[in-house]
Structures are given as C-alpha cells and as structure tokens.
Structure 1
Amino acid sequence: MGVNKRGRVKNLTAGRPPTVLKPKSISRKATRTLINSHHVLEKKKAQAVAKGDIATQAAVEAEIAALGGLEKYQQASLQGQRLDRGGDSSRVLMEWLKSMDPNFTSLEGARLRMLEVGALSTTNVCSKSGVFDMERIDLNSQSDGILQQDFMKRPLPKDDSERFDIISLSLVLNFVPDAMGRGEMLLRTLEFLKGPETDSSSQLRDIFPSLFLVLPAPCITNSRYMNESHMESIMRALGYVRAQSKTTQKLVYYLWVRNSPLQSPLTTFKKLELRSGHSRNNFAIVIRGSSG
C-alpha cells in the first residue's frame, strides 16, 4: 500500500553532514562535545535557511567553521563507531535477530535485503554476517560500497523486487532538522519496506519486514515533546509493532516490525508538550494525518 505524499520532502543535507574514512583519534569528551555542538549549529542553520535569514545563516556557518568544519565532525562521528566507544550498533540488531530465531542465519533460499541509511562502513556486523544483501547509502559517501544518496530523494521502488526486508536508521532520524521532516522520513520507510502481507518464510514473519531505529537516548528519555509511549503510538499508527528495545546511558535501540497497513485514516501527531522543565530537549516527531 503506497504512502500519500504529505507536504514538502526535506533535504537531509540540512541535518546530517557527510563522513570521511580514516579519522584521527579524538578523546571521548571531545567527541561528545563536538557532535553535540555541531548538531545544535546545524539546526540553527536550517532554521535560518528556512526563514531566509542570510545574516544568521552566515554567522552560524562561521561558528561551524570555528569548530573545525565538517571534517572534524566527520572524525567525531566515525570515532564513536570504535569498539571502545560502544562500537557498531548493528551488533545489537544481530543479537536480537539471533535471539528471535536462532536458525535465521542458516535459512535456505534467497538472502534478505537490507537498506542501511547513513552507512559509515562496509564492514559492520550486518555486512559480514552473510545473511543480508546489503544496500548502503549516505549523503556524502567517501567509501566504495556506499552509494551517495539522500534517502528522501531516493527513487521509489517499482515492485517488491526493489523493496527491502529491513531498513536501518541508526543515528539518522535525529539529524533531520525539523519535526515534520522526521515524520516524513518514518512515513517514507513504508515505501521501501515489503508489505506486512508479504508471503515470506513463516519462520521470519515475526521479524520481517522491520525497521531498526537508533536514537540518542535523551530524544526519548528527556524530551519535552517525546516519551516512550508517544513514540509507540506514532509507530503503531504507521503499522509497526515494537519487537525489541534497549536503552543505554547514551542510546536507545528499537526493532519495529511492520505487521499491519498504514492506519486509515492516519492520526495526526502534533508537537505537544509531554514533560515540562528547563532541562528538556526539543526532539519531536510530527505526523500530518489524513485530515491534515
């Protein structure tokens, strides 16, 4: 079932800068500070661009340059993938999949198709598992095996042969610069996943098609506009059910299985305060429903 277009599709380059391959070592504290600062500045820049505020845009771009520009941000992003920093998030996914079906790695027949959005590496655990035919995309790929592509501009699949069994959005959704754009990204995943009625192996129907989603933990645990139950309500409206979740001090991991069609009529999810307090962040997801 197709997803109706709802408003202007956002350009993800406003939110998630590119990555490079061989970063120099950066301390844990410096990595965290640089990523957070760059993230805040990119949001300010996107807001200035949206308002046509050229002066503010120039000022923010100067601040980004003072931090070392995109190159330093790229180094910090890849540094966080090191094993001594928590490592590859796809390890969590593979652990979950094996716990849900210990035999899924040895099933006969065609391999599962996986789309990894915002891919940093071609050698993560999922890539080396031998289970998936991988397709990796990133806004500014600098590695063979990763296609340079904006997910929000990716051509829509013509049929199921071009759709995927699983999509990975690991630390991608939080880089979309506005709440409406995040909702559009989640809606767009439905276009690229196989439908819940797909006649896949009966052994795998409780696992696929699915969405692996990783966010900074404060997006869920300390946002004034988001919490666990609200996130679940949004995903349930999109036809997803939570199969697995894990929260650490820094990250929240989810495996959402697509088990039903998009809700019709689709509920509107607005940016409403769920928690008060000056220390809260403003992470939110807005879904414009069938009634607008």
Structure 2
Amino acid sequence: MALKKKRASRSLAHGRPPVLQKPKSISRKATKSLINSIHVLEKRKAQAVTKGNVAEVAKIDAEITALGGIEKYQQASLQGQRTDRGGDSSKVLMEWLKPIYPALKAAADGPVRMLEVGALSTTNECSSSGLFSMERIDLNSQGDGILQQDFMERPLPKDMSERRCWARQHASKDTGVSEKPLASADEKLDEFIPSLFLVLPAPCVTNSRYTDEPTLEAIMNSLGYVQTRSKTTQKLVYYLWTRKNTIPGRGETFTKKEIRSGSSRNNFAIVLRVPPG
C-alpha cells in the first residue's frame, strides 16, 4: 500500500485575509509631474469650455481620467504635505501667529472660527492646534470632516460674528507683527482678525504675464486688506492679509492686463469686476 505524503504544516497567518495595504508613496518627481499635467489639462479645458468646443472638453476629461482624476491629484497633493516633504502649508501660518496664541486662547467669544478652503486633511497644524473652531471645505472632498462645497456658492455671513474667521487657501520677506501691549485679548485679536491666509504656487506671482506682487497687493487693498506677513520659497508664496476696512468702498476693477512679456511666462491671472449698481 502506498504511503500517504505528509502535508506540510501551515501557519495561522497563512489563512488570514490580506492586511489592508496603505497607498504606495508617490515619488517627488512623479508627484510634480502629475500635478503639473493636470494643471495644464485643466487650463486647456477652461479654454475649450470658453470656445464651446464640446468634443475637446470630452477629450481632455478623458485624459484627466486616464491620469487618475481628482483623486490621484489630491493624493499627490497630500504626499507634498508629508513631514519629510516640507509639511503642510499651515505650519507657516501657525509660526506667524505665535505672538497671539494667548489672545486666541482667551478670546471672549470662544474659539476663533477658521474656514479652510481647499482642505486636504483634518490633521494639519491649524487643525491640531486646538486654537480654532474649524470648518473645512473642498470642491471634491476626500475624507470625513471636509465638506464638499464650492466656496463661491457659500451664503454671505449674516452678521459680524460670522465674519470673524480666518481662511486659508492651499528670498523671504517678513514685515513683523506688532508687540505693543493691549487692554484685552479681544483688542489684540482685532489687530489680525478677520484675516486671510493665502498660499499660491510661486510662479503665479513670480512668473505670470498678468500677476505680480504689486498687482496682488493692489487687488487685496481694494478689498480692504493689508499685507501683514509674506514669505516666498522656490515652490510657494505665503501671504497673511488682515482686513482693516470693514466696509470698503466700491473698489476697483482689475482686468487681464499683461505685466511681463515672454514665451516662458504662465497665464495665471486674477480678474476683479465691480458689480453694477
């Protein structure tokens, strides 16, 4: 009678279901290439929409989908916020706000409200600080705690209490922060609130045909904001704008006007039109 072959013993782990794997990290080079490619495609799509070229819009949508769409784009953006790649941009804001941490904690009306536009994470520096009542929105929310919403379709604030919030979008220059003693925490906060923390790719300001720093400052001044601090790196520009004129005048109109010439320039522009009436 033939002997039965002895079956090899199997470990307990052999029968376990596969462990959920984390998404693979995207290299710096691949991250930059993907983000740039989608930016270019979105620009082409906007041009096609303006011209009413439906076929071209569909073709570009297919190209964006082939690259992984908005999900892949946001994954690449999140990779850029990792600590080993410089961390999230709100680190700059939190460093600038250190002088008023005590006033933020002692605010009479409770935590200062922060609206984060284009939010990617609920665990960044401003969220984990415990200093703010956070509200996060994005056109394509990728996680719990981030509302899927278009900022331009948000209802206007009903009263001044709703206006007292911060918003962040996402050679160094430092204009400083006033350190003079004030009577109360709220008075100290009034020096900086309401404010806007704005982050843009550096070429939007340093290499655009239509936008430079004086133009951006003129636009913000027309809206009642003054520049409190700024910082420029190789990749990004950071600005902190404080609202000083709560009821600005009719403001100015800013059109797409060439400031710099040259084939190497990008077409980033901010157009501001005063509504009629």
* Structure with larger RCO (C-alpha < 8 A, sep 6+): 1
Which residue is equivalent to 1:121? 121
Q: Pick which of 147-156 and 160-169 moved more.
A: 160-169
Distance 2:128 2:254 in 1: 38
- Report SS of the residue matched to 1:31: helix
Label 1:108 to 1:259 Cα distance change in 2 as closer, same or farther (>3 A).
closer
Q: Pick which of 276-285 and 47-56 moved more.
A: 47-56
Distance 1:264 1:132 in 2: 30
Label 1:37 to 1:201 Cα distance change in 2 as closer, same or farther (>3 A).
same
Contact 2:103 2:185 in 1 (8 A): no
Which residue is equivalent to 2:168? 168
Label 1:164 to 1:288 Cα distance change in 2 as closer, same or farther (>3 A).
same
Deviation at 1:148, TM superposition (A): 1.5
Which residue is equivalent to 2:213? 228
Uncovered stretches (5+) of structure 1, i.e. residues with no partner: 1-21, 171-198
Which residue is equivalent to 2:43? 43
Distance 1:214 1:65 in 2: 27
Q: Which amino acid aligns with 2:267?
A: N
- Report SS of the residue matched to 1:103: helix
2:255 equivalent to 1:275: no
Which residue is equivalent to 1:137? 137
Distance 1:137 1:57 in 2: 26
Which residue is equivalent to 1:53? 53
Contact 1:115 1:164 in 2 (8 A): no
- Report SS of the residue matched to 2:143: coil
Label 1:105 to 1:164 Cα distance change in 2 as closer, same or farther (>3 A).
closer
Residue identity (%): 66
Distance 1:141 1:34 in 2: 19
Deviation at 1:259, TM superposition (A): 0.3
Which residue is equivalent to 1:185? none
Deviation at 1:155, TM superposition (A): 2.3
Uncovered stretches (5+) of structure 2, i.e. residues with no partner: 1-21, 171-183
Contact 2:74 2:120 in 1 (8 A): no
Distance 2:116 2:266 in 1: 27
2:181 equivalent to 1:211: no
Label 1:159 to 1:262 Cα distance change in 2 as closer, same or farther (>3 A).
closer
Distance 1:164 1:291 in 2: 27
- Report SS of the residue matched to 1:284: coil
2:102 equivalent to 1:103: yes
What TM-score results when the alignment is normalised by the length of structure 1? Answer: 0.77
Which deviations, in whole Å up to 9, do the C-alpha atoms of 1:188-237 show, x marking residues without a partner? xxxxxxxxxxx981111221110000000000001111111111111000
Label 1:64 to 1:96 Cα distance change in 2 as closer, same or farther (>3 A).
same
Q: Which amino acid aligns with 1:278?
A: S
Contact 2:228 2:240 in 1 (8 A): yes
Which residue is equivalent to 2:224? 239
Label 1:287 to 1:134 Cα distance change in 2 as closer, same or farther (>3 A).
same
Superposition RMSD on alpha carbons, in Å? 2.1
What TM-score results when the alignment is normalised by the length of structure 2? Answer: 0.81
Of 221, 224, 239 in structure 2, the residue corresponding to residue 254 of structure 1 is: 239
- Report SS of the residue matched to 1:137: strand
| Count of residues in correspondence between the two structures | 242
Q: Which runs of structure 1 show a deviation greater than 6 angstroms over 4 or more consecutive aligned residues?
A: none
- Report SS of the residue matched to 2:169: strand
